[in-house]
Structure 1
Amino acid sequence: MLIRRVLDGLYLASAALAAMLLAGIGVLILAQIVGRFFGIVVPSANEISGFFLATSTFLALAYSFRGGTHIRVTLVVSHLPKHLHNASVVLALSVATILSGYFTYYAYGLAAESWRYGDLSDGLVGVPLWIPQSSMAFGLVMMTIACFDELVRVLRGREPSFKENTESVLD
């Protein structure tokens, strides 16, 4: 199905970008270490690394959610009868979709406000704050889509994709 391939491609692209940003953190910190030996300062390396970390965290949310790597507490749910178990999954996915949408809305509002006021970071290199904030909001958009995607999948009678890749400590 085309929509499934497009969504999976978006989740994978977000995760790949998150991985590149994590590698970027390594490069920045390495440049900072090597630069100290030669008396070279890498301006705002710590600050930019922090922005990369926050961005990569949010960009990887959807991919890791679909892959079943988010921490879920299933102690009670795993002992419910099948019909209550399914209802609890639908309820959890509905709440997750609503909360993700709520956080997305306010994250974009924050980025728009930073854009409007021209907010800059406090480091040596004044990074416009709307850049990391909007990338965080984009990660939240992807998470909201992933939650809604899973909700639709479960409502159609299929198992959630995150259940395929789970490991249980108590099984």
Structure 2
Amino acid sequence: MAKLALNFYKLLMALSCVAMVAAFGTVLLGVIAREVQWDIGGLDAYAGYAIAAALFLALPATLKHGDHIRVTLLLDRVPARLRGALEWWCLAVAFSLSLYIAWYALRLVWVSYTTHDISPAADASPLWIPQISMALGCIGFALSFGHALVERWRGGSFIAASAEASHVE
């Protein structure tokens, strides 16, 4: 089961990379189009959708790799027993909040789909299409926090400690 979750995080990260390349391509096309006085409506909106997709889809893998900002100022200065309790509390709260956000992201996609909501920008795209990437990223983020809780329960560590995060000046 853990291997399936890890592969899901990798898939979302690969999709995030594709979205980042799409954002770059869209912005580049917009620059070139402006230089040759060619109007392509909606390019700004598509670039925004791609950037948002890249951000949300990368959430689970970046959590796994320890690339999210963790405030260790307090954790590094408390006794080990209290530190363990604080880590449990932080993971539980993060899991709860990410589940809440994932639920509402899914709900937003459903509402946009059922009401045929379209973008007010020049692209006039159905909004549920770009919102799917946000919902997938939020689901993956909630899954990764749940995975972190299970790993913590087993005595392991889910979130990799980066060298920069552990460096204290």
Q: TM-score, normalised by structure 1?
A: 0.92
Q: Look up the SS of the partner of 2:165 in the other structure.
A: coil
Give runs of ≥4 in structure 1 deviating > 6 Å.
none
Q: Tell me, yes or no, if the aligned pair for 1:18 and 1:60 is still in contact at 8 Å.
A: yes
Residue identity in the other structure for 2:139: V
Decide whether the 8 Å contact of 1:68 with 1:165 is kept in 2.
no
Question: Which secondary structure state, in structure 2, belongs to the residue aligned with residue 113 of structure 1?
Answer: helix
Q: 1:8 to 1:166 in 2, by over 3 A?
A: farther
Q: Does 1:122 align with 2:120?
A: yes
Q: Distance in 2 between matches of 1:62 and 1:148?
A: 11
1:73 aligns with 2:71: yes
- Give the structure 1 partner of residue 110 of structure 2: 112
2:147 paired residue number: 149
Q: Which runs of 5 or more structure 1 residues have no equivalent in the other structure?
A: none
Deviation track 1:48-95 (CA, whole Å, cap 9, x = no partner) reads 111111111110000101110101111111112222211111111111
Contact 1:90 1:155 in 2 (8 A): no
Give the share of equivalent positions with the same residue, in percent: 28
How many residue pairs are counted as aligned between the two chains?
Answer: 169
**Alpha-carbon distance in 1 for matches of 2:162, 2:35:** 49
After superposition, the CA RMSD in angstroms is: 1.5
Q: Extract unaligned runs of 5+ from structure 2.
A: none
Q: Does the aligned pair in 1 maintain the 2:43–2:123 contact within 8 Å?
A: no
